[in-house]
């Protein structure tokens, strides 16, 4: 029937999108060929009809030995079988569709997980949408300590509708090898999945139908050829479940994870039917009768119980009457056997534990360090063991040990099974919470409340305590004698917080205030005269108003500067004496700092032109009576040049030559001269 949760959310009658279960065979069959029904679905409301809409079947066609001769060894593929599904379709469109085979060692006597799903979430009245149907099969392998891992896996897919047909390879895995297939068929096969009945004989038969199974025109199982083996954890999901959640189910059969922690894709909303079939110890499925009868059970999906009536949601709804139900039937056929139909199951599972710190459900908390001893003398002051950083853990050890029983452990296990892995740091590590004065983590509290809404009543701790008190407490006292002295040990019955509860210490809040202080002082204005100083003429170069003509003052004067080109006349009218406070030429030089004043004449050369008057004297014995005809003795005795004159004496036998070296006359031969400079 359609799922009630789907009807609440969409007001449409939508059948389950995902079917999930696990099975275990009894080992290698003794006869071949061998066929068994794992699952068939009926919707025709006929208790005698063997026609079904779809089904999943397991086949064994392998060889028990490697040969027919005496002494042949067992065939290495003798545990392999074929898993396939069938969907009934219109005879005009090809009849029943048969999926490709999944060939894996299903007859190894261990648990195998199966997921059969469609990829569309559509109304039961919609059979024209493009829809794919995929069958998954996987198991887990355990190879000793920390050896849990996904083992064999494969999948096959059928796509409807399509105008053509074809095939392509999908994904499956064992080790590093992959294979699989996809088949595309016509669209009439969607009706086989969407159809449903409301009578007591309609529904899914896990393990086959007692009268045999026929899908379309194919007879797949004969009467009384039911599955021989074990089943666990049969579920209906209201949405197409992803492969990641299925992998968690393979590793831990009690995992009921959804596709999100909260919201419409969470486990609470999409897991709409769950039959543990003994996994929750809900029954031993015993019978005291040898004739046909049935026992009724109720689904244990998360929403069947709740802390508010609005949250309690049944599994199915009948469209014609609106009646809801969560019941399922265990059928006991005519059999001479009485007693229990369940058996103990011991299995190592792998929990998808969240990252919640030291209280996480991990089994490798004890570290073995590679210490080395140096020296032979023991001391109570220093250890002779050296623990290198390379051998240390990334985080410091927590010296806490719990050896006891806690009712919160069962709650924590259920939290892990429903929520799966998550990082609690994303819920409590928001840096904005530093400024929050609350004593709680808002996001973590929201997730906690969402999880605990399935609890109809508080956990009965006192019943748990009464059960545990029958244990011998001397065990805990003995253990305390064997633990390190630095270890803090909790024993007996331990009451603690669950994984979704954290106490928050309110951080110290600091604040500051920027203070700006202002003030004022009384200001005074003073006026006065210039007190005999030079008045400010405001840029005027001559006085023209009252008071300015009392004393003739001018702001402009002329002066002359000597340059290499001669005197240069300039006018000073900048009034800078009123800015720098001094008149031109009023400065007094305190010290010249000249070490050799007598050399200053030479250091400060004059640029003035000097003109000289030249007077020539000669000695010519043939001439007499001339005032310039001196002998050399007379010239040296009587020559006394005046300022600005030059006297030259030469022998009359010499010749004066004018050379262009400053325009001077140089006697050729011999001669004597003297001069006295004169400033021009």
Residue 663 pLDDT exceeds 70:
no
Are the beta carbons of 356 and 500 closer than 8 angstroms? no
The whole-number pLDDT of residue 521 equals: 85
Please give the Cα distance from 163 to 283 (Å, whole number): 49
The whole-number pLDDT of residue 393 equals: 55
Among 180-194, 330-344, 386-400, 603-617, the minimum mean pLDDT is found in 386-400
Share of the chain above pLDDT 70, in %: 74
Helices (H) and strands (E) in the chain, counts: 12, 33
The whole-number pLDDT of residue 61 equals: 77
pLDDT band of residue 246 (cuts 50, 70, 90) is very high
Residue 670 pLDDT exceeds 50:
no
- In terms of C-beta distances under 8 Å and separation of at least 24 residues, what long-range contacts does 509-513 make, across chains too? 509/435, 509/437
The whole-number pLDDT of residue 33 equals: 67
**DSSP string computed for 298-364:** E---GGGS-SSGGG---SEE-TTT--EE-EEEEEE-S-S--EE--------------B-GGGS--S-
Type and span of the H or E element at 247 = helix 243-251
The whole-number pLDDT of residue 550 equals: 45
Are the beta carbons of 18 and 241 closer than 8 angstroms? yes
Higher pLDDT pick, 416 / 459: 416
Summarised one tens digit per residue, pLDDT across range 629-660 is 777 777 777 777 877 788 787 776 655 544 33
pLDDT band of residue 309 (cuts 50, 70, 90) is low
Summarised one tens digit per residue, pLDDT across range 551-579 is 455 567 788 888 777 888 888 777 665 55
User: What pTM was estimated for this model as a whole?
Assistant: 0.68
Question: Pick from 180, 174, 169, 214: which is nearest to 40 by CA?
Answer: 214
Are the beta carbons of 247 and 171 closer than 8 angstroms? no
Tokens of 410: 């069962």
Residue 95 pLDDT exceeds 70:
yes
The whole-number pLDDT of residue 369 equals: 62
Higher pLDDT pick, 206 / 641: 206
| Strand 102-104 relative to strand 97-98, pairing | unpaired
Question: Pick from 364, 369, 373, 367: which is nearest to 389 by CA?
Answer: 369
Mean pLDDT estimate for the chain: 78
Higher pLDDT pick, 482 / 232: 232
Residue 392 pLDDT exceeds 50:
yes
Task: Specify which of 58-72, 539-553, 651-665 reaches the highest per-range mean pLDDT.
Answer: 58-72
Beta bridge partners of 656: 667
Tokens of 375: 């020296």
Residue 541 pLDDT exceeds 60:
no
Are the beta carbons of 2 and 125 closer than 8 angstroms? no
Summarised one tens digit per residue, pLDDT across range 5-30 is 888 888 888 899 999 999 999 988 88
Higher pLDDT pick, 389 / 653: 653
Please give the Cα distance from 268 to 248 (Å, whole number): 16
Tokens of 601: 């004449």
The whole-number pLDDT of residue 18 equals: 95
Summarised one tens digit per residue, pLDDT across range 448-496 is 998 988 887 777 788 888 887 777 778 888 888 888 888 888 888 888 8
Share of the chain above pLDDT 90, in %: 19
Tokens 């197409």, residue located: 240
Q: Could you tell me how many residues make up the chain?
A: 680
Residues 6+ away with beta carbon under 8 Å from 560: 567, 568, 569, 570
The whole-number pLDDT of residue 662 equals: 39
Among 117-121, 425-429, 622-626, the minimum mean pLDDT is found in 622-626
Among 242-246, 287-291, 541-545, 608-612, the minimum mean pLDDT is found in 541-545
Residue 537 pLDDT exceeds 60:
no
């Amino acid at each position: 029937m359609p799922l009630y949760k789907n009807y609440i959310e969409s007001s449409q009658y939508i059948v389950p999108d995902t079917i999930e279960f696990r099975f275990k065979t009894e080992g290698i069959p003794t006869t071949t060929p061998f066929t068994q029904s794992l699952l068939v679905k009926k919707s025709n409301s006929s208790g005698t009809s063997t026609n079904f809409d779809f089904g999943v079947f397991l086949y064994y066609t392998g060889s028990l030995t490697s040969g027919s001769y005496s002494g042949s060894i067992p065939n290495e593929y003798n545990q392999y079988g074929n898993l396939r599904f069938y969907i009934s379709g219109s005879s005009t469109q090809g009849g029943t569709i048969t999926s490709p085979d999944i060939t894996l060692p299903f007859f190894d006597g261990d648990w195998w997980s199966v997921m059969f799903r469609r990829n569309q979430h559509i109304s039961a009245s919609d059979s024209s949408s493009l829809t794919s149907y995929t069958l998954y099969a996987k198991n887990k392998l355990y190879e000793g300590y920390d050896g849990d891992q996904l083992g064999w896996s494969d999948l096959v897919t059928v796509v409807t509708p399509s105008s053509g047909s074809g095939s392509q390879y999908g994904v499956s895995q064992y080790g590093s090898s992959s294979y699989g297939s996809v088949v595309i068929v016509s669209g009439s096969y969607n009706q086989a999945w969407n159809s449903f009945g409301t009578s007591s004989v309609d529904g899914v038969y896990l393990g086959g139908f007692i009268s045999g199974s026929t899908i379309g025109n194919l007879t797949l199982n004969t009467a009384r050829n039911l599955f021989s083996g074990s089943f666990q954890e049969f579920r209906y999901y209201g949405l197409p479940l992803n492969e990641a959640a299925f992998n968690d189910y393979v590793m831990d059969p009690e995992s009921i994870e959804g596709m999100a922690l909260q919201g419409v894709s969470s486990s609470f909303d999409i897991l709409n039917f769950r039959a543990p079939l003994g996994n929750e110890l809900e029954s031993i499925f015993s019978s005291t009768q040898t004739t046909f009868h049935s026992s009724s059970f109720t689904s244990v999906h998360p929403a069947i119980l709740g802390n508010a009536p609005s949250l309690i949601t049944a599994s199915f709804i009948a469209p014609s009457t609106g009646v809801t139900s969560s019941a399922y039937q265990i059928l006991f056929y005519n059999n001479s056997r009485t007693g229990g139909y369940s058996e103990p199951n011991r299995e190592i599972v792998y929990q998808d534990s969240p990252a919640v710190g030291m209280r996480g459900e991990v089994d490798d908390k004890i570290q073995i360090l590679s210490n080395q001893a140096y020296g032979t003398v023991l001391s109570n002051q220093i250890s002779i063991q050296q623990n290198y950083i390379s051998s240390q853990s990334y985080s410091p050890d927590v010296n806490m040990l719990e050896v006891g029983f806690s009712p919160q452990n069962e709650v924590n296990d259920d939290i892990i099974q429903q929520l799966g892995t998550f990082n609690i740091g994303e819920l409590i590590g928001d840096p904005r919470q530093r400024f929050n004065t609350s004593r709680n983590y808002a996001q973590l509290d929201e997730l906690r409340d969402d999880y605990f809404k399935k609890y109809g009543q508080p956990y009965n701790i006192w019943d748990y305590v009464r059960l545990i008190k029958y244990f011998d407490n001397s065990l805990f006292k003995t253990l305390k004698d064997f633990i390190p002295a630095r270890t803090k040990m909790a024993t007996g019955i331990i009451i603690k917080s669950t994984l979704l509860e954290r106490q928050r210490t309110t951080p110290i809040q600091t604040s500051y205030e920027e203070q700006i202080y202002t003030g004022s002082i009384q200001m005074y204005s003073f006026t006065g005269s210039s007190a005999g100083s030079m008045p400010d003429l405001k840029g005027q170069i001559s006085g023209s108003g009252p008071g300015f003509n009392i004393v003739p003052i001018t702001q402009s004067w002329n002066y002359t500067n000597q340059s290499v080109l001669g005197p240069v006349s300039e006018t000073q009218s900048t009034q800078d004496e009123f800015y720098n406070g001094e008149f031109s030429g009023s400065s007094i030089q305190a010290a010249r700092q000249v070490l050799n004043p007598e050399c200053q004449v030479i250091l400060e050369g004059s640029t003035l032109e000097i003109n000289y008057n030249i007077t020539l004297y000669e000695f010519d014995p043939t001439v007499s009576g001339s005032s310039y005809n001196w002998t050399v003795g007379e010239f040296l005795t009587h020559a006394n040049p005046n300022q600005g004159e030059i006297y030259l004496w030469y022998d009359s036998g010499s010749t004066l030559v004018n050379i262009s070296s400053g325009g001077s006359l140089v006697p050729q031969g011999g001669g004597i001269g003297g001069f006295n400079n004169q400033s021009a």
